[in-house]
A and B are shown apart, each in its own frame.
Chain A
Amino acid sequence: MKDSLALLLVFAAGICLGVSDMAPEFLHLPWLPTVALSLLMVQVGIGLGSRKDLPAIIKSLHWSMLLLPLSTIVGTLTFSTLALLLFRHESLKDVLAVGSGFGYYSLSSVLIAEIKSATAGMEKATQLATIALLANVTREVFALLCCPVIIRKGKGNAAISIAGISSMDVCLPMIIGRDGSKSQLLPTAVFHGFILELSVPLLITLFCQ
């Protein structure tokens, strides 16, 4: 949570600098986001590959564990299309791209900004990326607030699914309980986050093309 706050502050600082029109020229260089994003993707990969619990998670894998991340993806994307009823100016692909963040606001917004700007222009891309950032921050905050309640009701899988990506980091302590009383949910929660983390760049690239 402390990290989310810091991220939002950095983001807000960027906005203020942009509004004030005082940003130094080099921060507007068109290749800068591309290079930074490529760096980020390699680092996300290294992070996934170097997880200490990776062998244990791979060992405990069963094809049926795929059902949970799959229902998160199907459920999120199906319901996201309903937003078209309210926001008729949006296109189906754009709404799906925003939904495909699954709470991973940092990665989803920069991916959308980067990929969409090539096809729809800078302005449309920035706008959609802002929606993605806000939507996915909301999802993470809501998940943080709701997870304990849903867990207490004994709906472990539903809590993992709502948490989206954060089931493997920010929300993990709540899912397995502070005292570790629900630690049997750990592999499912981490695997769920892992599959979603892989699916974010794939789905967003797919919907932004």
Chain B
Amino acid sequence: MFRILLLLLIGTGIGLMLRNSATLVHGIEKSTRYTIFLLLFIFGISIGSNRSIIDNLGSVGLEAFTIAFLGIAGSFFTVSLFKYISSKKKGGEK
């Protein structure tokens, strides 16, 4: 956890210092993309060479879709709830 946070902070510091360099800003967008490509590629290889995942792709997929829709529904519900509560409060103060 601390290693990741530290790296993130170091990066933000570098970004703040070099924010006026257009080449850096443009370059970092590109290199971030390529790093993600590399990571996903390596990740794909480890999935592909893992038989138990390839054989269970159906159940893994179902689980993923369920969690995705629950997350979306949860966000929508909580924001609507907040809006409802805050509009009630405002109404009460009038």
Contacts and interface: CB of A to CB of B under 8 A. Distances in A.
A56 interface: no
A77 B74 CA distance: 8
Interface residues of B, number: 67
Contacts of B65: 134-135, 138
Interface in A100-128: 102, 106-107, 109-111, 113, 122-123, 126-127
Interface residues of A, number: 93
Given A13-B44, A18-B45, A79 B19 contact: no
Nearest to B80: A158
B71 A32 contact: no
A63 interface: no
B18 to A, nearest CB: 6
Contacts of A90: 63
Chain B interface, >50% SS class? helix
Interface centre among A76, A107, A130, A132 (most CB of B within 10 A): A130
A129 B80 CA distance: 30
Contacts of A202: 1, 5
Contacts of A6: 37
A50 B55 CA distance: 44
Contacts of A82: 70
B49 A18 contact: yes
A117 to B, nearest CB: 9
